[in-house]
């Protein structure tokens, strides 16, 4: 589904404006890539744009152009309040409900300025003045590329912008492995490479330059792997003890959930991550074929996302969360079996 209601946005941006750009809490590669790409795009067009993140982003993304200028609300709340209050436009990227922006939610919900939403998740909330919602898009970074064309700023795309947007697309498509990376996505990626994105360097910085803490955590995570062959499902667990033993850093577990899908016969992978701060269990879910993890997460784990990639959260012990998952699988047995055979010869 695609919603494009940006009439008047070009007129608003016809003169220099102050713009606050907001990613979701715990920003990932697409959230940061799209926000920084838009910031640089608007800055090149003569605007003053500032990215304001609810909380810190993973260290493995700290090389992105202008990431050092991001304001972090958890650490610099007064500066963030000031930047939002002074903005002529607030842009919310890679989320479509204000509950996703953490400590910034009350500031944005009470704002009187126009709001631009650019996002590719389903069921967008009705809070934005201008909306670009496309659930078929691979990523919000891909959508920023389209937005640049819609508002006449495509000529401002340079190597730094291309790097940010390519990074967002790369991370949200699993390095172009997921079904959401169609021919249009590949064409846009090629155009970004032509504009200066160094695909070899970006891939190395994202996936080949891991920290020691990430590698140690990976080992503990894989050691917990359980394959429920009857249900074509893998689950893994990361406990607080695992985090302590590996000297966990924010972002270290990024992408671990995908390991399960590399196992022959698996079409559904889940990772449970213990969070002692709020006594909750965070889940990441991935699938292949038509097994809808978005609906699964919505129905059972207070979450959602995309058809083949979703997240959730539950306030139980990790053992109880695993028990809930295993109790649900018999109800999905036929669907899981069908989707597990899609890629068989």
**pLDDT of res. 277:** 79
Which of the four CATH numbers 3.40.30.10, 3.40.50.1370, 3.90.1640.10, 3.40.50.1580 does domain 2-207 have? 3.90.1640.10
Q: List, in sequence order, every residue forming a beta bridge with 72; answer none if it has no partner.
A: 53
CA-nearest of 165, 140, 181 to 308 is 181
208: confidence class by pLDDT, cuts 50, 70, 90: low
Q: What pLDDT score does 43 carry?
A: 97
In the CATH scheme, what is the code of domain 212-340?
3.10.310.30
**Assigned token pair, 270:** 């889940």
User: What does the pLDDT look like over 260-318, one tens digit per residue?
Assistant: 999 999 999 999 999 887 889 999 999 988 999 999 999 999 998 888 889 999 999 99
Query: Over the chain, what is the mean pLDDT?
Result: 94
SS3 content of the chain, % helix, strand, coil (to 5): 45, 20, 35
pLDDT in tens, 106-147: 999 999 999 999 999 988 999 999 999 999 999 999 999 999
In this predicted structure, the answer to whether residue 31 has a pLDDT above a threshold of 90 is: yes
Tokens of 243: 């985090």
Q: What values do phi and psi take at 92, rounded to 5?
A: -105, 125
Kind and range of the H or E run holding 243? helix 240-246
The model's pLDDT over 48-79, given as tens digits with 9 standing for 90+, comes to 999 999 999 988 899 999 999 999 999 999 99
24 within 8 A of 54, measured Cβ to Cβ: yes
Among 94, 101, 88, 104, CA closest to 37: 94
Q: Alpha carbon of 306 to those of 178, 237, 301: distances in Å?
A: 11, 22, 14
Single pTM value for the model: 0.87
Domain ranges of the chain: 2-207, 212-340
Which stretches within 75-182 are classed as H helix?
77-86, 105-109, 140-150, 159-172
CB 321 within 8 A of CB 139: no
Residue 249 has what pLDDT? Answer: 85
- Render pLDDT for 234-269 as a digit per residue (tens, 0 to 9): 999 999 999 999 999 888 898 899 999 999 999 999
Which residues of 181-322 form beta strands (DSSP E)?
A: 226-228, 233-238, 268-275, 280-287, 304-305, 309-314
DSSP string, 190-226: HHHHHTT--HHHHHHHHHSS--HHHHHHHHHHHHT-E
């Amino acid at each position: 589904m695609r919603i494009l209601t940006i009439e008047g946005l070009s007129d608003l941006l016809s003169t220099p404006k102050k713009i606050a750009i907001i990613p979701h809490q715990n920003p990932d590669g697409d959230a940061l890539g799209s926000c920084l790409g838009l910031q640089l795009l608007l800055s090149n067009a003569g605007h003053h744009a500032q990215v304001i993140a609810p909380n810190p982003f993973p260290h493995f993304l700290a090389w992105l152009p202008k990431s050092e200028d991001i304001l972090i609300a958890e650490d610099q709340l007064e500066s963030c309040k000031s930047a939002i209050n002074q903005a002529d436009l607030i842009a919310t990227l890679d989320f479509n409900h204000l509950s996703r922006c953490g400590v910034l939610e009350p500031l944005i919900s009470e704002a009187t300025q126009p709001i631009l939403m650019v996002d590719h998740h389903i069921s967008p909330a009705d809070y934005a003045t201008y909306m670009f919602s496309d659930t078929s898009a691979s990523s919000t970074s891909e959508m920023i590329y389209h937005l640049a064309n819609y508002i006449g700023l495509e000529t401002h795309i340079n190597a730094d912008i291309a790097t940010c947007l390519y990074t967002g697309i790369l991370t949200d498509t699993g390095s172009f492995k997921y079904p959401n990376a169609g021919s249009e996505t590949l064409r846009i990626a090629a155009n970004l490479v032509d504009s200066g994105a160094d695909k070899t360097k970006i891939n190395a910085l994202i996936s080949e330059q891991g920290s020691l803490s990430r590698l140690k955590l990976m080992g503990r995570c894989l050691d917990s792997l359980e394959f429920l062959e009857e249900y074509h499902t893998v689950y893994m667990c990361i406990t607080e003890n695992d985090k302590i033993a590996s000297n966990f850093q924010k972002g270290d577990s990024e992408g671990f959930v995908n390991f399960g899908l590399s196992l022959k016969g698996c079409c559904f992978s889940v990772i449970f991550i213990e969070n002692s701060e709020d006594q909750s269990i965070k889940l990441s879910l991935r699938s292949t074929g038509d097994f809808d993890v978005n609906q699964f997460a919505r129905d059972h784990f207070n979450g959602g996302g995309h058809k083949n990639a979703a997240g959730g959260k539950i306030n139980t012990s990790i053992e109880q969360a695993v028990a809930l998952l295993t109790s649900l699988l018999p109800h999905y047995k036929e669907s899981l079996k069908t989707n597990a055979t899609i890629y068989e010869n």
